[in-house]
Amino acid sequence: MITYICLCFCYIAIPQFIFLARLKHNKPNKASLKVTITKGTSSSKTTSSGGSTSFTVSSEVGATVLKVFSVKLGVSATTGFDWSSSSTATSVEEVKHEVSVEVNPGDEVHVYQVVGECENSDGTKYTLKTGRYETRGKNGEKMETSEIPPEEGAKLV
């Protein structure tokens, strides 16, 4: 039996930053604090009762969703992420990575991840979590943009 998933109504591909963590450091020396970033593709569908069901994304569907982002967005004006070259930077399988973020004494740093979402005609929502993340100060000023290298193995957290 062959199952088809229609991505034909995935007209809007939405790139965005999602908030991951707020890191505060009150010690007298600079610290390297850990943040877990999940990279990969997931899908979910809202049920008629208002709940949500998650699905595993096959490599074919993941590649198709990534192609939708590549064709529709290219370089995102919102995030600066180049979806057209993200085939190696965004995998289908969800993998957790642990990254270190430098925080100065008395500072607060917010960490955001570049994520893309689109929804097809049956209400299935696809989420592409990239390896790109951005740090911002407590007032929202951009500090640094970093990326998990595609070849870096998963660090189980």
Q: What is the DSSP string of 28-83?
A: SS-EEEEEEEEEEEEEEEE-TTS-EEEEPPPHHHHHHHHHHHHHHHSB-TTT--BG
Task: Report the Cα 136 to chain-centroid distance in Å.
Answer: 17
Which residues span the domain enclosing 71?
Answer: 14-147
CATH for 126: 2.60.120
Predicted pLDDT of residue 8: 54
155 lies in some domain: no
99 lies in some domain: yes
Q: Read off φ and ψ for residue 60, nearest 5 degrees.
A: -65, -45
152 lies in some domain: no
4 lies in some domain: no
Predicted pLDDT of residue 155: 43
Predicted pLDDT of residue 100: 93
59 lies in some domain: yes
154 lies in some domain: no
The SS3 assignment for 3 reads coil
Rounded Cα distance, 46 and 54, in Å? 9
Predicted pLDDT of residue 157: 38
Predicted pLDDT of residue 85: 74
Predicted pLDDT of residue 58: 72
Q: Are 110 and 138 in contact (CB under 8 A)?
A: yes
Rounded Cα distance, 151 and 77, in Å? 26
Predicted pLDDT of residue 15: 83
Question: Total domain count for the chain?
Answer: 1
Taking only Cα atoms into account, the Rg of the chain, rounded to an integer number of angstroms, comes to 17
> What are the residue ranges in the chain where pLDDT is below 70?
1-11, 86-91, 150-157
